[in-house]
Amino acid sequence: MALTIDQPIEHKQQSLAARLFASQTFWVVIAVILACVFLSFATDAFATSKNLYNITRNITFVAIIALGMTFVIITGGIDLSVGSVLCLSSMILAVTMHAGYSIEVGILASIATALAIGAFNGILIAYLGFPPFVVTLGMLSIARSLAMVASNNTVVFQFGPDHAKLLALGGGAWVFGIANPVLYMILLALITGFILRWTKFGRHIFAIGGNEHAATLTGVPVRQIKVAVYMISALSAGIAGIIQTGWLGAVTTNLGTGMELQVIAATVIGGANLAGGVGTAFGAIVGAALIEVIRNSLGLLGINAFWQGVFIGGAILLAVLFDRIRNFRRSD
């Protein structure tokens, strides 16, 4: 008797199709594909190489930070400071290079700044027990303010001797005409996916999000890992900042304003759970893609830009609705 009940259950769990249909990320991918197909027929401008180049590149900045945010969200935390950290890292890079230092020094200073901020956030959260929301909200304000201090609130658009290198780094397309930022994003997504699936560190991140107390009791170094995830999140913001600086060719102190919410939206649309324990690298990219496709399509379809927020907000609710429906079905 037990066998007859077990078999269909096992079959259901093993079946790839069933697992796909149960995944929020899968449905978001379908939504992105449908939107793209629809737009190719509905507008002439969508399926042009110029527009696709723009879309893929625009996805990257949110997507790269969303990859870092995924680590934090899986542990059950949140990082609201990423938009400001992006701005500060960009500004440190810009100011350092403007002062005549090489691009290597600039990038090093920029990355070091991001990591220091991440470590600061992480230590306050992991060792002093501050709520992540509050710490990173504070840092949202502090980092942007520091960016203003560093630049005296001016626009920096001259990057010293390595000016051209920096612009090529962010604005070029070295392989098959794919925008460089897209290549970085793919590389970072592969690294993120690998860490989450195949490393002890990744396993422990999921454990902390699932049951932090259990992780502590079983000897998982919970505090160190929490510091590390906030450093990763800040690092991803720093990397996005460097790339964005190269692409834009100028840094202002309002760079990345409100970006933290787009990033969190992308992560959640892609299937991460803000309560912790769930999230994937692929989901973060797909979530960012859906947001960008919505934005792009509204422009191409001639819909007033003021409607953007409604559609993106709707996408967030719809994505989470799928998750709720699944849970309701399970509890039945």
Partner 1 sequence: MAVLELTNISRHFGAIQAVNDVSLSIEPGQVVGLMGDNGAGKSTLVKMIAGNFRPSHGTMHMDGKELILHKPAEARQHGIEIVHQDLALCNNLTAAANVYLGRELRRGVGPFRILDYAAMYKRAGQLFAELKSETRPRDLVKQMSGGQRQAVAIARTMLSQAKIVLMDEPTAAISVRQVAEVLNLIRHLRDQGISVVLISHRMPDVFTVADRVIVMRRGRKVADKTIASSSPEEVTGLITGAIEQV
Catalog residues that contact partner 1 under the rule CB under 8 A: 2, 6, 10, 13, 197-200, 203-204, 206-207, 209-211, 213-215, 217-220, 277-278
Q: How far is the CB of 218 from partner 1 (least distance, A)?
A: 4
User: Among residues 18 and 34, whose Cβ is nearest to partner 1?
Assistant: 18
User: Among residues 43 and 211, whose Cβ is nearest to partner 1?
Assistant: 211
User: Among residues 204 and 226, whose Cβ is nearest to partner 1?
Assistant: 204
User: Among residues 160 and 202, whose Cβ is nearest to partner 1?
Assistant: 202
Rounded to 5°, the CA angle 148-149-150 comes to 90
User: Among residues 26 and 53, whose Cβ is nearest to partner 1?
Assistant: 26
Q: How far is the CB of 82 from partner 1 (least distance, A)?
A: 24
Q: How far is the CB of 212 from partner 1 (least distance, A)?
A: 9
Contact yes or no for 28/319 (Cβ under 8 A): yes
CA–CA distance, 181 with 183 (Å, rounded to integer): 5
Q: How far is the CB of 6 from partner 1 (least distance, A)?
A: 8
Contact yes or no for 91/250 (Cβ under 8 A): no
User: Among residues 11 and 313, whose Cβ is nearest to partner 1?
Assistant: 11
Q: How far is the CB of 145 from partner 1 (least distance, A)?
A: 38
Contact yes or no for 90/255 (Cβ under 8 A): yes
User: Among residues 206 and 322, whose Cβ is nearest to partner 1?
Assistant: 206
* Number of alpha carbons in the 13 Å side-chain half-sphere of residue 80: 12
Contact yes or no for 84/147 (Cβ under 8 A): yes
Tokens linked to 238 = 């720093």
Q: How far is the CB of 178 from partner 1 (least distance, A)?
A: 28
Report which residue type is found at 248: L
CA–CA distance, 295 with 301 (Å, rounded to integer): 10
Residue 146 β-bridge partners: none
The alpha carbons of the chain give a radius of gyration, in whole angstroms, of 21
The phi and psi torsions of 178 (rounded to 5 degrees) equal -85, 135
Q: How far is the CB of 260 from partner 1 (least distance, A)?
A: 25
